[in-house]
Structure 1
């Protein structure tokens, strides 16, 4: 491309110059729309920073773009969320297509009105055509002052060869309340750029290049406009499908109405089905109940720092007491841990410092607390980490709890009809824990993830739930009859009578089966032809160990030791660790296995007291054994504490995230040194988790040096398929039933058995009754499962014939994908149930 003379841009306003990084809006701060700068204005007339033609000027007057003769396009956006003002406070001085000179007034605005009624007055100037630039000023600037120098280039490119006529989508109705303004337009343009096709967006007789933010904005779309997408080129069909889906979902904005006329696409597999991700298994038929938290009336200015501080501290104390009560009433350790983590947030020094600082500025207790929690939640969300995003949801929950207490608002139980299926943008852990399960049959949310605290609580309550559902679900009317099939991640909006009857029959069979499983929980898990398989528990507390034993668990196949380390400001003492491990070992007794996984944190689960550099991709960074070997003292202390329980149970130590043989050798050396220092004559068994493909593929190399393997199917799946298992759009494909994952399990088992070593599966796949026949057929020796599912998995083993399972396993390893494997297993399961002798009882 050919360089052209540099272009000088002038300051469009007087004010303080800021970096885009300081803009409290992730779309602008991430430079999705374009790179540039921000001005906190002290003047009220926006002027042209360069000579050119007005490409677009929004009817609302809050945004304008100019295209120079060289092709440089500059967008100016006054304030944040100012599109919602619908033109109030803005006066347009120019029209679209008009030629303007540098310094010419473009828009006048009432700064006081905008500041009071919009999120912010910060004004953006962005080079949306993508040319590089350098700044010529900093700090305080005056309108008309040279501000930046842009280096234009000759952007003429060969057009994509359409190779035939363009494809057109069916007409669709735009759902966005304010049309395709800067933010959704940027999301659409960014998505369009990912396709090797020439793509256009059509509104009546107007058309716009869908890869151009400015062109999309120039269409001046409004809610209800009828649009079409056309594309020509190699990826035309895929582009149309993806962009129609994106438009239907609001291009990143929450849309409150179902867009009429939108054809079913990726997230809408059929006209009457909304697709999400399973958060908690099960199914239910009931009526829609839309739920939402009411807006709280918060006064900004306080009555005095002393009084407001006292109100805040009283609210914090009351919230702490309420959370302690919820923790005490928790049905299991996982639920108790959630509310303990909430208490930790209430004591966070950074959060409290922010709130107290605002009190010192004269703000009210409610305003200061809300501002501090929102700022911290936005920080968590902006870091791009799924677990920190969940912490943001927890913080929102805690924040709302304290706010209500400060304002004296009593939490009232929702007045719910019978057979309610709750629909919400997001439920909080507090709301979920307090649901009346006699009336609530399940719930559906737009936000959240399969590993969120709300999902954990749903599973604990036995409520089917799906998350990541398109925002159209928020427009369903109360009382509409729907069928929730959480196992498939589906909400059926128009269920027919046959579907409902089939569901009800399945529910009754499930209830009867569960009653039988609980009655027979103490029976050993032996196949019909006499082969015994261990069914142990995945646990994170002494309470869960005791529960597992009452449900017939054969031992502990995975003790997640990080429960001792997370949600605290300093490491647990060696004495605390040793005491916990010993109590668990004593509860199990000398005849049962205790498999303790060494600390599995780092990267996606950082510890506050172990400083770590930020990582671009924490799932591929310092996790598990990698972190512990970088900080060997941490591993030594833990090994010493674990060894304190040797003799009370059959102790096994398991290393997470091992990918190299050298990691195993270094960890064994530390174990041997610590055992020698304690005078132990017999070492515990040492094994590794198989979570990365390299460990499975090299299992024959590892086998001589380990005592056992345990396969973590959650991570093994996401690393094998290169798909985040919690990604709302990929979760359905990141399936542990995929033949590639099953082949790695088979490879591990074969290598282990050749060296006389046993293999367990402790990932989520082991807890799925559907997977039990193939795992048994592949030769897995132990299944370590979620505590409540122990009776179910033991019963599943008792229904099987080993020879039949081996034949089945050989068959599914040759299938193409997870869906075919699941179908083969359903067919096998149905056949097994029909011939099972226990069905007669």
Structure 2
């Protein structure tokens, strides 16, 4: 049907297709604002062209600053909202060009906006474009057309419910030929309620989604209601009118209501605006349930601890402790939350890092030449990665070196290389083929269900970008950073992170990734505060905005008052001073105030970490993660190589100190190329830890022989070595002599798994003819804690891994950006499992250590001591601070504290019981 065959009918408006595309049912749009018709009735088009035209005759009455949306008002007073794509407000105009201005008169079919389809396809949630009749209460039935449409095709007729048959629509209620939106305030004689000024906290201001939320709430009241901004008012029941106010982040508005429930209307709507209107469109601003653990201590209005909240003002477990829910809403609208990945506070100004679009030619002539270009670029990238890896090893940073070793392995991936070569053979240029290939691989990984595996997409992109820059002959250079920069980005590559100028960059946040991403690992090794998986609204914070990030809680604060910044600077200064004092006393034993000594050992991931641990006062190695020998290589290390590595760790320790070697802990969530472990749909519940070792008995036997030989050498017993190379027979200089070597099995869930592993150990011990070594299990699965008494009859010690124990107990992934704040090791359920384990160990005369992240948490330490834990194994940098914390505690007080903690119902409630570490009063 041609457009000329349709004449407007009085009381109806015909909508014409504004764009070439395919009609899509509005109910299927992946956005509740449109699918649930919060804005109004309308139609949706999946565009095939990047030109948006007017669907009706009328006046342009609103044009969003981001150019992704505008409103046309018809002669009848109907407001038609055109909205290109979903979440396109966050592109801030990139890829859009407007061809009209507010006030322009347009005819149906006139060009309004052009947009870059390719740019939106790669940067927006969806291209679906909505045409919505947004005037409240003015429309009835709307029957949209289906199938393919072209610009100018009729797509729907809108019935005007306020029009009488034969009417031209201008006598609709409230319409006087002037302002049909109801934007006029009531007459002075009419009683009205005006709210106090309210701060708009939404990062992108009152754009479509928060405006729709406000309208939906406003329509629940009988009163007329307006929003006032800078002396301009808008009908609060009209989404178009609200957007027309152009209210940005940080603006102040007032709610004016007139009618039978005016007071309630003004109160409810102003509170909704202050609270952020439901968290906007990109997730709840809190990112977690209100009782998330790890909330910072409450502060008084002057930035000090309130009276009675100081450590010395009350005994542990006092009933006067803070109500954990009291401050949950405080300034929540000025916070964004993500996963805490690297602790520390940082104050600085935002520097937004956006990916650079690199232009490459798609077609090429000589496929042989293009293949050579790609191979040469890969070779140069391999050389760079090899040099970077070796530099980091020379700097004794094995963890960071291993990441770039893994990057070299990515460049050797045959599937990656074959797909790129295939594209070149089809006539594509080397640069185009390579970019398309690594993007496909990265997107595929990012879409995996496992948070840990998905985080590795950043590594593929990093490697891919490195080769691409070699192909085009330039390495991406970032402009100069201002001092005290806090970087904000969708993601940072490991290459970006390791090359940060620490004299200028004080912290960073990313919207992708989690606590287990390589960027997170690098941030912790650099000792730089960082947050990952933060609410995507962080990308809307303007450059140079002053913010505060707390890497320990995963919270970014913006619009921070000067007095708060000054308080944080003082806090950082005190922290630096405190660390110096702690390090000076690091070699002293950790003895409580009432005379009980607590052993503090270190968790390490490499040979060189052992020396650093000793320098920081560690009393041995409570956890040696043996994976460092297996990562970044295609073959499993042999027995002699492993023995030499374990001996080097032992040589860094003092006689009598423990060296607990954990057998290989990998699995579906920690892929290892040399073992060819297939990905699993749910890797956390599949083959991990000891299950992988039992499935590869030759790997387990080799590792256990290396541990046994190391133990025999440290004990001075070289019997049964038989290697002929001197490894395992004891060094001539006696280094490592007297170190107590022990072995520990990870991720054990059943006695059957433990017995199978111990049987292999005993077989190899008898073959070598060496003395037995103490054997323990990691308590990471709740089943072991629950049956700890039965395990205690067969094991020699327990080591409680609170990281995995907590996430398995609470059924929450600790890398999940929203749930991570709730994965708290002081949750009463986790504390109860630790208590069960310790009671079973004490009854059997065994020791039970804690080696998870909770052991280094200053608030958790008194709880663990109160539960009976007498050994804490912590990250190397945390050793001095944990020892200092122990010296401030009394075991009697800790026992009283934990009695109260075990009857609480949340981690937040438990933390409210624990006296906060008052940094002003620390030694």
When normalised by structure 1's length, the TM-score is 0.71
Write the mapping of 1:478-557 to structure 2, written as runs, cut at 5 A: 478-557=543-622
CA distance in 2, matches of 1:594, 1:225: 67
Q: Does 1:713 align with 2:802?
A: yes
What displacement does 1:684 show?
Answer: 0.7
Match of residue 386 from structure 1: 451
Match of residue 11 from structure 1: none
Given candidates 842, 853, 863, the residue that maps to 1:764 is: 853
Pick closer, same or farther for the CA change 1:304–1:745 going to 2, 3 Å: same
Q: Secondary structure of the equivalent of 1:800? A: coil
Pick closer, same or farther for the CA change 1:731–1:240 going to 2, 3 Å: farther
Segments of 5+ residues of structure 1 without an aligned counterpart are 1-54, 69-74, 91-112, 126-142, 144-169, 193-198, 205-218, 228-238, 253-264
Would the aligned equivalents of 2:548 and 2:560 in 1 still touch at CA under 8 Å?
Answer: yes
Q: Does 1:753 align with 2:842?
A: yes
Write the mapping of 1:725-804 to structure 2, written as runs, cut at 5 A: 725-804=814-893
Given candidates 327, 336, 342, the residue that maps to 2:389 is: 327
What displacement does 1:627 show?
Answer: 2.8
Would the aligned equivalents of 1:483 and 1:492 in 2 still touch at CA under 8 Å?
Answer: yes
Pick closer, same or farther for the CA change 1:377–1:410 going to 2, 3 Å: closer
CA distance in 1, matches of 2:894, 2:801: 21
Match of residue 151 from structure 1: none
Given candidates 470, 476, 494, the residue that maps to 2:535 is: 470
What displacement does 1:816 show?
Answer: 2.5
Q: Secondary structure of the equivalent of 1:248? A: coil
Q: Secondary structure of the equivalent of 1:770? A: coil
Match of residue 649 from structure 2: 584
Write the mapping of 1:595-674 to structure 2, written as runs, cut at 5 A: 595-612=660-677, 614-647=679-712, 648=714, 649-674=739-764
CA distance in 2, matches of 1:539, 1:354: 39
CA distance in 2, matches of 1:540, 1:765: 18
Would the aligned equivalents of 2:202 and 2:333 in 1 still touch at CA under 8 Å?
Answer: no
Match of residue 60 from structure 1: 19
Match of residue 704 from structure 1: 793
Given candidates 686, 694, 706, the residue that maps to 2:783 is: 694
Q: Does 1:291 align with 2:250?
A: no
Q: May I ask how many residue pairs the two structures share in their alignment?
A: 672
CA distance in 1, matches of 2:788, 2:277: 46
When normalised by structure 2's length, the TM-score is 0.65
CA distance in 2, matches of 1:799, 1:713: 23
CA distance in 1, matches of 2:274, 2:684: 30
Write the mapping of 1:300-379 to structure 2, written as runs, cut at 5 A: 300-330=362-392, 331=395, 332-379=397-444
Instruction: Name which of structure 1's ranges 456-465 and 728-737 shifts more when overlaid on structure 2.
Output: 456-465
CA distance in 1, matches of 2:853, 2:587: 22
Would the aligned equivalents of 1:539 and 1:556 in 2 still touch at CA under 8 Å?
Answer: yes
Match of residue 157 from structure 2: none
What displacement does 1:679 show?
Answer: 1.1
Q: Secondary structure of the equivalent of 1:487? A: coil
CA distance in 2, matches of 1:741, 1:478: 42
Would the aligned equivalents of 1:56 and 1:66 in 2 still touch at CA under 8 Å?
Answer: no
What displacement does 1:770 show?
Answer: 2.7
CA distance in 1, matches of 2:775, 2:854: 23
Match of residue 188 from structure 2: none
Instruction: Name which of structure 1's ranges 724-733 and 403-412 shifts more when overlaid on structure 2.
Output: 403-412
Would the aligned equivalents of 2:349 and 2:486 in 1 still touch at CA under 8 Å?
Answer: yes
What displacement does 1:754 show?
Answer: 0.9
Would the aligned equivalents of 1:58 and 1:220 in 2 still touch at CA under 8 Å?
Answer: no
Would the aligned equivalents of 2:866 and 2:898 in 1 still touch at CA under 8 Å?
Answer: yes
Would the aligned equivalents of 1:624 and 1:657 in 2 still touch at CA under 8 Å?
Answer: yes
What displacement does 1:62 show?
Answer: 2.4
What displacement does 1:758 show?
Answer: 0.3
CA distance in 2, matches of 1:349, 1:642: 35
Would the aligned equivalents of 2:625 and 2:661 in 1 still touch at CA under 8 Å?
Answer: yes
What CA deviation, in whole Å up to 9, does each residue of 1:353-400 have, x standing for no partner?
222222222222211211111111122122222222122111111111
What displacement does 1:690 show?
Answer: 0.6
Pick closer, same or farther for the CA change 1:222–1:721 going to 2, 3 Å: farther
CA distance in 2, matches of 1:661, 1:390: 33
CA distance in 2, matches of 1:802, 1:57: 77
What CA deviation, in whole Å up to 9, does each residue of 1:303-360 have, x standing for no partner?
5223322322222222222223332333522211111111211222221122222222
Structure number with the bigger relative contact order (C-alpha 8 A, sep ≥ 6) is: 2
CA distance in 2, matches of 1:820, 1:276: 21
Given candidates 244, 249, 274, the residue that maps to 2:282 is: 249
Given candidates 875, 896, 902, the residue that maps to 1:813 is: 902
Match of residue 167 from structure 1: none
Instruction: Name which of structure 1's ranges 599-608 and 393-402 shifts more when overlaid on structure 2.
Output: 599-608
Would the aligned equivalents of 2:202 and 2:276 in 1 still touch at CA under 8 Å?
Answer: no
What displacement does 1:636 show?
Answer: 2.2
Pick closer, same or farther for the CA change 1:692–1:222 going to 2, 3 Å: farther
What displacement does 1:124 show?
Answer: 14
What displacement does 1:735 show?
Answer: 1.0
More helix by share: 1
CA distance in 1, matches of 2:614, 2:20: 68
Segments of 5+ residues of structure 2 without an aligned counterpart are 1-13, 28-42, 56-114, 129-147, 149-198, 222-237, 248-271, 286-326, 715-738
Q: Secondary structure of the equivalent of 2:652? A: helix
Match of residue 523 from structure 2: 458
CA distance in 2, matches of 1:628, 1:116: 47
Q: For the pair shown, which has the larger CA radius of gyration, 1 or 2?
A: 2
CA distance in 2, matches of 1:564, 1:60: 58
What CA deviation, in whole Å up to 9, does each residue of 1:457-477 have, x standing for no partner?
222222111122222222222
Pick closer, same or farther for the CA change 1:636–1:357 going to 2, 3 Å: same
CA distance in 1, matches of 2:546, 2:275: 30
Match of residue 47 from structure 1: none
Would the aligned equivalents of 1:773 and 1:805 in 2 still touch at CA under 8 Å?
Answer: yes
Q: Secondary structure of the equivalent of 1:793? A: helix
Write the mapping of 1:216-255 to structure 2, written as runs, cut at 5 A: 245=278, 247-249=280-282
Would the aligned equivalents of 1:288 and 1:479 in 2 still touch at CA under 8 Å?
Answer: yes
What CA deviation, in whole Å up to 9, does each residue of 1:777-805 have, x standing for no partner?
22212111111222222222223222222
Q: Secondary structure of the equivalent of 2:710? A: coil
What displacement does 1:417 show?
Answer: 1.2
